[in-house]
Structure 1
Amino acid sequence: MSILTLENIHKTYFGKRVLDGLSLSLDFGDRLVLTGANGTGKSTLLKIISGQEEPDTDIGLLNLASGTVIGYLPQQLSSEPDPAKTCLSHQRYDDLMLQMRSLEEDMAEHPEQFAELSTAYDQTIRSFEALGGYGFQADLLAALYGLGLSDQILRRPLNTLSGGERMRSALAHIIVSRPDLLLLDEPTNHLDIDGIEWLEEWLSSFSGTVIVISHDRSFMDNIATHTALLSQGKMTVRAGNYSEFKETEAMIHFSRERELKKLQETLKHEQKVTQTMFSHRKMNQYHSREKRVAKLSRQINEVEKNLVSEQTRVKFSFQSDPERKTRSGCLIQAEDISLSYDDNTLFSGFSSSIFPQDRIMITGPNGCGKTSLLNIMVGSLRPSSGRVEINSRAKIGYMGQLLQFNSEVNTLLTEVRQADPGLTEGQGRDLLAGYGFREIDVFKRIQVLSGGERARLYLCKLLLQKPDLLLLDEPTNHLDIASREILEQALLDYDGALLSVSHDRYFIDKTARKIWGFIGVQVQEYNSYQSWRGMVRAGKANISVPTQSEQSEIAEKENNSGRKNTDTKQIAAEKRKKAAEQRQIIQTLEAIIHEQEAEIKSMEASFAEDTPAVVYEQYADLIQELEENTTSYLELLEKKDS
Structure 2
Amino acid sequence: MIEIQVNNLVKSFEVGHNVLDGVTFQIDQGQRVGLLGKNGAGKSTLFKILIGELDCDEGTVTISPGHRMGLISQIPVYPEGYTVDDVLRSAFGRLHALTAEMEELAGRMAAGETDPAILKRYGSLSERFEVFGGYDTDVAISKVANGLSISDDMRGRLFDQLSGGEKTRVNLGRLILEDTDILLLDEPTNHLDLHATEWLEAYIQKFRGTVVAISHDRYFLDRSVNRVIEIENGKAEFYSGNYSFYAVEKERRYQERMKQYEKEQAKIAQLEKSAEQLRMWAFQGMDKTYRRAISMERRIERMRTTAKPTKARKMDARFTAAEFHGDEVLGIRNLSKAYGEKPLFEGISLKVEGGERIALIGDNGTGKSTLIKMIADEVYPDSGRIRLGPQVKLAYLPQIIHFDHPDWNLVENMMAAKRGISAQSARNRLAAYDFRGEDVLKPVSVLSGGEQSRLRLCMLMDDEINFLILDEPTNHLDIASREWIEEAVEAYDGTLLFVSHDRYFINRFATRIWEVANGTITDYPMGFAQYRQVKAQEEAEKAETTKPVKEKTVTEKPVRGDRAQQAARRQLTICEREIAKAEERVGALDAEMEANACDYEKLNALVADKDAAQAELDALYLRWEELSEAAGEA
Task: Bin the TM-score by the shorter chain.
Answer: 0.7 to 0.9
Give CA deviations for 1:203-237 in whole Å, capped at 9, x if unaligned: 11112211222333322222111122223332223
**3-state SS in 2 of match to 1:227:** strand
Q: Distance in 2 between matches of 1:138 and 1:397?
A: 46
Q: Provide closer, same or farther for how the CA distance between residues 335 and 320 of structure 1 changes in structure 2, counting only shifts above 3 A.
A: closer
Q: Which residue of 1 aligns with 2:337?
A: 340
Q: Give, in angstroms, the shift of residue 407 of structure 1.
A: 5.2
**3-state SS in 2 of match to 1:498:** strand
Contact 2:216–2:478 under 8 Å retained in 1: yes
**3-state SS in 2 of match to 1:22:** strand
Contact 2:320–2:461 under 8 Å retained in 1: no
Q: Which residue of 2 aligns with 1:290?
A: 297
Contact 1:131–1:178 under 8 Å retained in 2: no
Q: Give, in angstroms, the shift of residue 425 of structure 1.
A: 5.5
Contact 2:330–2:387 under 8 Å retained in 1: yes
Q: Which residue of 1 aligns with 2:34?
A: 33
Q: Provide closer, same or farther for how the CA distance between residues 380 and 179 of structure 1 changes in structure 2, counting only shifts above 3 A.
A: closer
Q: Which residue of 2 aligns with 1:515?
A: 513
Q: Provide closer, same or farther for how the CA distance between residues 274 and 38 of structure 1 changes in structure 2, counting only shifts above 3 A.
A: same
**3-state SS in 1 of match to 2:307:** helix
Q: Which residue of 2 aligns with 1:7?
A: 7
Q: Which amino acid aligns with 1:110?
A: G
Q: Distance in 2 between matches of 1:241 and 1:443?
A: 39
Tell which deviates more after alignment, 14-23 or 466-475.
Answer: 14-23
Q: Give, in angstroms, the shift of residue 503 of structure 1.
A: 2.3
Q: Which has the larger radius of gyration?
A: 2
Q: Give, in angstroms, the shift of residue 245 of structure 1.
A: 1.4
Q: Distance in 2 between matches of 1:348 and 1:91?
A: 48
Report matched runs for 1:615-630 at 5 Å.
Answer: none
Contact 1:81–1:158 under 8 Å retained in 2: no
**3-state SS in 2 of match to 1:9:** strand
2:109 is aligned with 1:112: no
Report matched runs for 1:222-233 at 5 Å.
Answer: 222-233=223-234
Tell which deviates more after alignment, 528-537 or 88-97.
Answer: 528-537
Q: Which residue of 2 aligns with 1:76?
A: 74
Report matched runs for 1:481-520 at 5 Å.
Answer: 481-520=479-518
Contact 1:517–1:526 under 8 Å retained in 2: no
2:307 is aligned with 1:303: yes
Contact 1:411–1:445 under 8 Å retained in 2: yes
Q: Give, in angstroms, the shift of residue 25 of structure 1.
A: 2.0
Contact 2:72–2:171 under 8 Å retained in 1: no
Q: Provide closer, same or farther for how the CA distance between residues 335 and 147 of structure 1 changes in structure 2, counting only shifts above 3 A.
A: closer
**3-state SS in 2 of match to 1:81:** coil
TM-score (norm 2): 0.73
Q: Provide closer, same or farther for how the CA distance between residues 369 and 316 of structure 1 changes in structure 2, counting only shifts above 3 A.
A: farther
Q: Which amino acid aligns with 1:10?
A: V
Q: Which amino acid aligns with 1:186?
A: E
Contact 1:320–1:495 under 8 Å retained in 2: no
**3-state SS in 2 of match to 1:60:** strand
Q: Which residue of 2 aligns with 1:352?
A: 351
Q: Provide closer, same or farther for how the CA distance between residues 121 and 522 of structure 1 changes in structure 2, counting only shifts above 3 A.
A: same
Which of 361, 364, 367 is equivalent to 1:366?
Answer: 364
Which of 88, 93, 96 is equivalent to 1:94?
Answer: 96
Q: Which residue of 1 aligns with 2:192?
A: 191
Contact 1:74–1:184 under 8 Å retained in 2: yes
Q: Which residue of 2 aligns with 1:453?
A: 451
Q: Which amino acid aligns with 1:350?
A: S
2:322 is aligned with 1:317: no
Q: Which residue of 1 aligns with 2:395?
A: 397
Q: Give, in angstroms, the shift of residue 191 of structure 1.
A: 3.0
Give CA deviations for 1:380-428 in whole Å, capped at 9, x if unaligned: 6565555555343444333234546675566534554566678665554
Report matched runs for 1:121-270 at 5 Å.
Answer: 121-154=122-155, 164-165=165-166, 167-270=168-271
Q: Provide closer, same or farther for how the CA distance between residues 451 and 383 of structure 1 changes in structure 2, counting only shifts above 3 A.
A: same
Q: Distance in 2 between matches of 1:379 and 1:179?
A: 46
**3-state SS in 2 of match to 1:3:** strand
Report matched runs for 1:526-605 at 5 Å.
Answer: 526-532=525-531
**3-state SS in 1 of match to 2:462:** helix
Q: Give, in angstroms, the shift of residue 77 of structure 1.
A: 1.7
Aligned pairs, number: 530
2:471 is aligned with 1:473: yes
Q: Give, in angstroms, the shift of residue 30 of structure 1.
A: 0.9
Contact 1:331–1:354 under 8 Å retained in 2: yes
Contact 1:332–1:388 under 8 Å retained in 2: no
Q: Give, in angstroms, the shift of residue 512 of structure 1.
A: 2.8
Q: Distance in 2 between matches of 1:99 and 1:407?
A: 59
Tell which deviates more after alignment, 160-169 or 482-491.
Answer: 160-169
Q: Which residue of 2 aligns with 1:441?
A: 439
Q: Distance in 2 between matches of 1:421 and 1:150?
A: 47
Q: Distance in 2 between matches of 1:386 and 1:471?
A: 21
Contact 2:70–2:180 under 8 Å retained in 1: no
Q: Give, in angstroms, the shift of residue 484 of structure 1.
A: 1.7
Q: Distance in 2 between matches of 1:269 and 1:468?
A: 55
**3-state SS in 2 of match to 1:317:** coil
Give CA deviations for 1:304-349 in whole Å, capped at 9, x if unaligned: 3x41xx2445x1421666x85xx66436032534132366242533
Unaligned runs of 5+ in 2: 283-288, 544-586, 588-634
Q: Which amino acid aligns with 1:235?
A: A
Contact 1:316–1:460 under 8 Å retained in 2: no
Contact 1:331–1:394 under 8 Å retained in 2: no
Report % sequence identity.
32
Q: Which amino acid aligns with 1:363?
A: I
RMSD between aligned residues: 3.6
Q: Distance in 2 between matches of 1:446 and 1:159?
A: 28
Q: Give, in angstroms, the shift of residue 460 of structure 1.
A: 1.7
Q: Give, in angstroms, the shift of residue 253 of structure 1.
A: 2.4
Give CA deviations for 1:71-93 in whole Å, capped at 9, x if unaligned: 40341323223647723353221
Q: Distance in 1 between matches of 2:307 and 2:300?
A: 15
TM-score (norm 1): 0.72
Q: Which amino acid aligns with 1:529?
A: F
Q: Give, in angstroms, the shift of residue 197 of structure 1.
A: 1.7
Q: Distance in 1 between matches of 2:155 and 2:170?
A: 9
Q: Provide closer, same or farther for how the CA distance between residues 443 and 3 of structure 1 changes in structure 2, counting only shifts above 3 A.
A: closer
Q: Give, in angstroms, the shift of residue 117 of structure 1.
A: 0.5
Q: Provide closer, same or farther for how the CA distance between residues 530 and 73 of structure 1 changes in structure 2, counting only shifts above 3 A.
A: farther
Contact 1:471–1:498 under 8 Å retained in 2: yes
Q: Distance in 2 between matches of 1:463 and 1:231?
A: 30
Q: Provide closer, same or farther for how the CA distance between residues 332 and 20 of structure 1 changes in structure 2, counting only shifts above 3 A.
A: same
Q: Distance in 1 between matches of 2:409 and 2:63?
A: 50
**3-state SS in 2 of match to 1:112:** coil
Contact 1:144–1:172 under 8 Å retained in 2: yes
Contact 2:188–2:215 under 8 Å retained in 1: yes
Q: Give, in angstroms, the shift of residue 246 of structure 1.
A: 2.0
Contact 1:270–1:293 under 8 Å retained in 2: yes
Q: Which residue of 1 aligns with 2:327?
A: 330
Q: Which residue of 1 aligns with 2:461?
A: 463
Q: Give, in angstroms, the shift of residue 100 of structure 1.
A: 1.8
Q: Which amino acid aligns with 1:150?
A: S
Q: Provide closer, same or farther for how the CA distance between residues 447 and 369 of structure 1 changes in structure 2, counting only shifts above 3 A.
A: same
Tell which deviates more after alignment, 208-217 or 390-399.
Answer: 390-399
